[in-house]
Structure 1
Amino acid sequence: MLVVCFSATGNTKAVSEKIVEVTGADYFEIIPTEPYSESDLNYSDDGCRANREQQDETARPSISGNIENIEQYEVVLIGHPIWWGMEPRIMDTFMESYDFSGKTLANFCTSGGSGINTSTENLKALSTEANWLDGKRFSGRADTDEMQTWIDSI
């Protein structure tokens, strides 16, 4: 099992680390080649980098590093925040970078209020040959019991 995570502010990373603790899975952090600055994440600024990327369906921010031997993992849990109701575009970069055919996938997200459904459908569309399990939205303050309950349910 592999837990993959993109976290711009640390909330999703904290949840991912708890899932790793619960499952004993390997861990890979998606790190943008060009890190996001505080001003890049200023959602009240229409021109900030995050907003520009989200408004451009073709945006594919580059990732620093890659997963070697992805074929060894049967289950991949994919963590991301929600930006404007869906996954950040860097998650699309990630999904398009690997062949997940025949693998079991589930995504999880952190969000203060937005749901996971749109991002789940978007990610599924990028890997139609995978077996997708139900995803889960967590708050940044979720505890390991919540992670265990989700893992047990899938």
Structure 2
Amino acid sequence: MSNVLVAYFSASGVTKGIAEKIANENGYDIFEIVPEEIYTPEDLDWTDKNSRSTIEMNDKEFRPPIAESCDVSGYDIVAIGFPVWWYTAPTIINTFIESVDLSGKTIKAFCTSGGSGIDKCVSDLANTYPELNFAKGMRFMGDVSKAKGWIEDE
């Protein structure tokens, strides 16, 4: 079996719950991507054009600073989880990807979302980082029973 790291960003706790379930049920290591400045409910108000998350998502070059990164060298597969923001991955995911060396690794993105799927998120990331190996992503709504098969199948 290959070594798997579950790295995730969670603004409200939903993605954290899914990531912990995936890691705990399958014996994977886990790493939380924590912003240097935690997002408040006001920051996450997508209806406010001046909210922090709206400003960040409207600037594709913006990289919110993260509190710390991690060493991914011992892993073959890195599963990266996040909530879908504006139909794609939050820019903090770019910060994480750019802070670690993912070359030669299989990257499996997973998301939590009430309505948006994962496909646009994965294609956006693959277009931004064409040198990396992004596999098919998956959206989770609470049930993670398919996670092990999805993560470990080529």
Structure-2-length-normalised TM-score? 0.90
Aligned match of 2:143: 143
SS in 2 for 1:106: strand
Matched with 2:12 is 9
- Maintained 8 Å contact 1:95/1:123: no
Quote the sequence identity (%).
42
> Structure 1: which 5+ runs fail to align?
none
What amino acid sits opposite 1:144 in the alignment? Answer: V
- Residue aligning to 2:53: 50
After superposition, the CA RMSD in angstroms is 1.6
5+ residue gaps, structure 2: none
CA distance in 2, matches of 1:59, 1:87: 13
Amino acid aligned to 2:100: Y
Among 95, 98, 114, the alignment partner of 2:97 is: 95
| Residues 50 and 151 of structure 1, relative CA distance in 2, 3 Å threshold | same
**Given the two structures, how large is their TM-score scaled by the length of structure 1?**
0.90
Q: Structure 1 pair 138/2, CA: closer, same or farther in 2 (3 Å)?
A: same
1:104 counterpart residue number: 106
Q: How far does residue 131 in structure 1 lie from its aligned partner after superposition?
A: 2.8
2:117 and 2:73 mapped to 1: Cα distance?
30
Aligned-residue offset at 1:153:
4.9
Q: Secondary structure at the match of 1:40?
A: coil
Q: Is the 8 A contact 2:6 2:31 kept in 1?
A: yes
One of 103, 119, 125 as aligned partner of 2:121: 119
